[in-house]
Structure 1
Amino acid sequence: MATVVFRVRSKANKNVSIKVRLLNGKTTDIELNTGFTINPKDWSETTNRPKQNNAVNKQIFSDLKKLESFIFENLNKDLGNGILIDAYWLENTINECFKRVEKTDTGLVTNHIQYIIDNASTRKVKGRKNLGLSKSRINSYVNSKNILAEYQKHLKKQIHFFDINKSFIDKFSNWLIKNKKYSINHSGDQIKNLKAVCLDAEKDNIPVNTYVKNIEVFSESNEDRFIVTLSFAELEQIRTCKEIKTAGLINARNWMLIGCEIGQRGGDLLNITKDNIRYNNGNMYLDLIQQKTNKKVTIGIVNPHIIDIIKNHFPYPISTQKLNVHIKKVCELAEIDEMVEGKKWDEKTKRKKLDFYPKHELVTNHSFRRSFATNYYKKMQTSILIGITGHSKESLFLQYINEREDKDANANLFIKMWEIMNKETEVKDEDKPSQLNVV
């Protein structure tokens, strides 16, 4: 049975700390300062409480009674949830009881996320020589911090690294998906970010729950993903559409046509200028450094229509938000209206709703990159496409376009190469002079 004991450990004629000791079975014996002080002459050794001989001591008496009840209440609850009961837990409970948790507390998850954000420009990223997190990564951390702050309000407590156990992850995931109605992928990203933050804190010698290494991230299965792409035929339909007349829509169309031909993310696409273009032996090349991965990419531009746009009608800068609005109108005018399954923002629920919609309503700037990868898959060697899109390996590229690895294609290629290799060997053998046996 758990016991809470208050005491002072000095006889000095001055104010000293009041300590609280928590005992629970043979495994738990923790003592910490409560944050309150009292002169030992005003402390009763009989009741282990302040003497109620003045208003100040009466208030301390009341506060200690409140703390005792708060400790028991949270102890029973957290033991049931498998939370580790240690000095860190007791310190957090005391602070929470009196709303004393300081913003500088490094044990708070949201504070460490803010630390990562504040130092984003100098942080090292695995696999990259240059320092600094990408803008999209910073935004992802900002979003995660805001979501965790909202979850703290839901829990009515601040979240410490020791709180991150299996029970917490299960409940947090459930809240993200069922209460907030976030998509599986967005919810999975929050768990992924939380794990990354915990592991980062551990590297900084901040105590974390040992469970964090076992946190499993999740995402939609390939069968649940809805990828909107534009085929070569649809792109030609868009290119030749005469109903696209205003300067804004023509500009958006040019960005779209370039985007579907170079396979880059929206942010990288819209940062391209004529300075990214170079020529060599009559060929046009586009050089850029991907913001997300910091990879240097070179794309050969061979489509005559894209060459013409770059040379004579290079699109002017536009935000991704405006581009997404304009390209939907461009596709609508071009009658890209096939009914396809996908997710679209619902103003009533403030969430994306899965349904069937005309394709032009679902097109975004991210469709450009997927269209490039999908259109050229199996028409070009996958290694060439990966070199342009920047995917680190083929399996990720195939997952990106919802394709499974074609084992037969690999086997057929081996057969073909084997036949070519052996034909060459046969030709060489035929060219050798015949050897006569001399008796």
Structure 2
Amino acid sequence: MASINFIYRSKKEFAPLILRLLHKNEIDLFINTNYNCKRSFWFDSKNKKQLKYPKTNCKEALEVKSTIIKLEEHIFNKFNQDYNVIRIDKNWLQECIDIFFNRVSYQKQKTKELFPSNLTEYISHYIEKAPTIKNSKGGFGLSKSRIDDFKTLRRFLKEFQGKKKIKIIDVNLNFSNEFLSWMIDDKKYASGYAGRMLSAIKTICNDASFHGLETHPQLVKVTGYKTKNKHIIVLTPDEIELIKNTHFKLKSLKNAKKWLLFGCYTGQRVSDLLNITSNNIHMRNNLEVIEIKQQKTGKQVTIPLLNETKEIISDGFPHKISQQKFNDYIKDVCRISGIDTITEGMLFNKDSKRREYGLYKKWQLVSSHICRRSFCTNNFGTLPNYLIMSVTGHSSEKTFLGYIGKTSYDYAKQFKELYYKNQS
């Protein structure tokens, strides 16, 4: 929890207050508020130590106390809003104070000098300051994939706006509807992807608003969204056995087979999976485990080394390959293994450069996500969800269940099976 202290440093009877903002061991900022008051409000004649709040022995002192308590509340609200989003520094604190005291002329001049008012130029500004933006891991700096998202968004908006530049203040409900319609109906992008881009626009506008740029009153109603994945592709235990028992001549496919099976028994994202080596294996209290720190979340997870996993790496770990090659090779692994059940799904069309719904052979729909999803799905109903999540690193059960696409029917079936199992 952050804390704020007001300090009267001057020996003069009338001087500005200094504000100190503290948070854990991360933040310790001092700044001149340029808010003047009397020294006598802050010191008791019997005690030389400064009071936390001014004495309220007169109307003027009461007004000072009321003002600084409101200022505290204003800064705390901004802090809670921005702590996980941007860097909290002196510039941030100065802006909070200036906004509170409505120092408009200063704020407008500063905003005009530092921040562009049109959307695409502000995205460029946001990308430039990406290393200073607080990320979800608690550090600073946006990921490369996140920066790429904003670069793609900038390209989309340049095409969408044509010659007429869209300003920050133009982002309202009408803009939202037109942009989504253009992305989905004209450009033929998936609804979920369009919603993701709209969410990125909202992020940009919120940042602009924080820095003093005027936004549309309807901005609060402009929201991005995610769509539920209706076509979740997993390998069943029988299909995993088929792959296990299939012989491959090419070394590249033998290696990809190892990674694929290894992933189905460890439940990790491909970015973590392909970085696991023998150095990640440790003996803890007579239990052999794999220990990794997940790249996306920064979580430390411990994965039990199952007998099936030991068998896969009994003759050595697979050698490292790129995510792209892994994606390509496992399609061939599944095709040769006979994973060809006709399955509903979305497949990328090279001609239209879009993912298109259809009925395809299952091996065509295989991607790196299949490892983690197969692990979750095949263990669901057999092991408690919290145990599966402790291995995968999912933060909430809602996210976990959405990831494997379980329905109310699945929960009812699981309930019935466990109910009668416990009765016996």
Task: Identify the TM-score tier after normalising by the shorter chain.
Answer: 0.5 to 0.7
Match of 2:124 in 1: 114
Contact 2:265 2:375 in 1 (8 A): yes
Q: Kindly indicate whether the alpha-carbon contact (under 8 Å) linking 1:285 and 1:299 is maintained by their aligned counterparts in 2.
A: yes
Deviation at 1:368, TM superposition (A): 1.2
Match of 1:377 among 371, 375, 380: 380
Aligned pair partner of 1:237 in 235, 242, 263:
242
- Offset of residue 112 of structure 1: 2.9
Which of 177, 180, 183 does residue 184 from structure 2 map onto?
177
- Alpha-carbon distance change, 136 to 263 in structure 1, aligned in 2, over 3 angstroms: farther
Give 1:27-426 correspondences, 5 Å limit: 106-126=116-136, 128-153=137-162, 156-221=163-228, 225-242=230-247, 244-302=248-306, 304-404=307-407
CA distance, structure 1, for counterparts of residue 275 and residue 318 of structure 2: 11
Distance 1:170 1:113 in 2: 20
Q: Cα gap change, 1:239/1:118 in structure 2, threshold over 3 Å: closer, same or farther?
A: farther
Cα distance in structure 2, aligned partners of 1:208 and 1:265: 38
Question: Counterparts of 2:271 and 2:368 in 1: how far apart (Å)?
Answer: 9
Q: CA deviation at 1:188?
A: 1.2
- Do 2:131 and 2:141's aligned partners in 1 also have CA atoms closer than 8 Å? yes
Structure 2 unpaired stretches of 5+: 1-111
Deviations 1:355-410 (A, max 9, x none): 11110111000111111111111111111222222222111211111113666589
Deviation at 1:417, TM superposition (A): 13
Instruction: Return the alpha-carbon distance in structure 2 between the equivalents of residues 103 and 257 of structure 1.
Output: 56
> Which one has a bigger Cα radius of gyration?
1
Q: Distance in 1 between matches of 2:138 and 2:266?
A: 25
Structure 1 Cα separation of the partners of residues 402 and 189 of structure 2: 22
Shift in Å, 1:418:
11
Q: Verify the 8 A CA contact 2:265 2:308 in the aligned structure 1.
A: no
User: SS at the partner of 2:199?
Assistant: helix
Other structure's SS at 2:355 match? strand
Q: Which amino acid aligns with 1:125?
A: N
Q: 1:353 to 1:301 in 2, by over 3 A?
A: same
Q: Secondary structure at the match of 1:312?
A: coil
- Structure 1 regions of 5+ residues with no counterpart? 1-101, 421-439
Identity among equivalent pairs (%): 34
8 Å Cα contact 1:134/1:291 also seen in 2: no
Q: Comparing 372-381 with 292-301, which one deviates more in the overlay?
A: 292-301
Letter in 2 for 1:287: E
Over 3 Å counting, the alpha-carbon distance change for 1:413 and 1:135 in structure 2 is: farther
- CA distance in 2 between partners of 1:282 and 1:276 (Å): 16
**Residue pair 1:248, 1:326 contacting (<8 A) in 2 also:** yes
Q: TM-score, normalization: structure 1?
A: 0.65
Of 132-141 and 179-188, deviating more is 132-141
User: Judging changes above 3 Å, is the alpha-carbon distance between structure 1 residues 208 and 275 closer, same or farther for their aligned structure 2 residues?
Assistant: farther
- Alpha-carbon distance change, 417 to 140 in structure 1, aligned in 2, over 3 angstroms: same
Quote the RMSD (CA, aligned, Å): 2.8
What amino acid is the match of 2:123?
Answer: I
Cross-structure match for 1:428 = none
